[in-house]
Amino acid sequence: MKVSTHIVSAPLHTPFVTALRTATHVESLLVSISDGSETGWGEAPQVWKVTGESLAGAQACVEGPLAAALEGLGPDDLTEGLRRIQSAVQGNFGAKAAVDVALHDLAARRRGQTLHGFLGSTVDVVRTDVTLSAGDPSALVRAAKDRVADGFEVLKVKVGTGDAAADFKRVHKIREAVGPEPRIRLDANQGWSRRDAVTAIRALEDAGSNIELVEQPVAAADLEGMAWITDRVSTPILADESVYGVRDLVAVIRHGAADLVNVKLAKCGGLGPARTLLELAREHGIGSIVGSMMESHVGVGAAAALVAAYPTTTVNDLDAAWWLMESPVVGGIWYEGPAIHLPTDPGLGVIGLSS
């Protein structure tokens, strides 16, 4: 099988601002694996502040040890291929995810199935929330109203900018502006202290702001702090950066640190590990969502296929490709407001790179 890499840069229609960074483009590595007649696609997004992986590093990993691990592998040996890539190197989860997804995509195409069908789903539409970038209250209120007008029913608000009182005011103003119906979830991206998190969340609870969940309120390694918060608020807490793989999720469960877990392909290493995480969470009564990094229709398409086959406990966070002015590939998923339409063509439905 031939493994190829393609670095792409796609502009966003609106800057994406969080407590960690400001993005104006999606910078990503697309990976294609061909058996000579069919080609599978995968993606490794560059997310310095979360995974620490660069495009150059992911490309070197894919073209080096991961490609070497697939030498001599037959195109139908999916299980063995997945085992090899997970054991070939330490870390490098984005690179592993790209190859894992490309192998799944190739296997589905060889059988003439969509990727979500290959994973066992008959669902062809999944729904997503939409993120409101961090900003001043008036800008957030305008964005919230616009997104509700677009049909989005779940708004994700970036908080954790260092001022818990200001975060409270921003979120409360959004709730007042959009009314009681749209769900609002918060993502602090590790930006609060444990005390600030409890203060802000309790204030929102007392104000009747009806927050669905709060994602990663404190530093990823501070499981004791997250458990301390979980014990002191009624609003569900979602672990994101705290969980990459099974060992991390086990630690979250043992600490009682969160009510839900956010599973992302580029964090855990692909569809294989993601399925394990979702099954483990379900077995232990932990809620789940599937999320995405700032990535294109390839990575989001794979995550959407996973959701279609492995339903989660609430609306997922798959709006990343919605932010793109245009897709770097031809074919694949497409958005209609909060609805992500899965392709009817085999695999991910990706035909190739856009010109």
- Residue 25 burial (CB count, 10 A): 16
Please state, in angstroms and rounded to a whole number, the distance separating the CA atoms of residues 95 and 220.
22
Select which of 96, 156, 264, 267 is catalytic: 264
- Residue 132 burial (CB count, 10 A): 25
The answer to whether residue 264 is catalytic is yes
* Nearest CA-CA partner of 328 in 300, 287, 289: 300
Question: Can you give the three-state secondary structure of the chain, one letter per residue?
Answer: CEEEEEEEEEEEEEEEECCCCEEEEEEEEEEEEECCCCEEEEEEECCCCCCCCCHHHHHHHHHHHHHHHCCCCCCCCHHHHHHHHHHHCCCCHHHHHHHHHHHHHHHHHHCCCEHHHHCCCCCCEEEECEEECCCCHHHHHHHHHHHHHCCCCEEEEECCCCCHHHHHHHHHHHHHHHCCCCEEEEECCCCCCHHHHHHHHHHHHHCCCCEEEEECCCCCCCHHHHHHHHHHCCCCEEECCCCCCHHHHHHHHHHCCCCEEEECHHHHCCHHHHHHHHHHHHHCCCEEEEECCCCCHHHHHHHHHHHHHCCCCCCEECCHHHHECCCCEEECCEEECCEEECCCCCECCEEEECC
Please state, in angstroms and rounded to a whole number, the distance separating the CA atoms of residues 316 and 312.
8
Select which of 96, 156, 158, 267 is catalytic: 158
Residues classed as catalytic: 158, 264
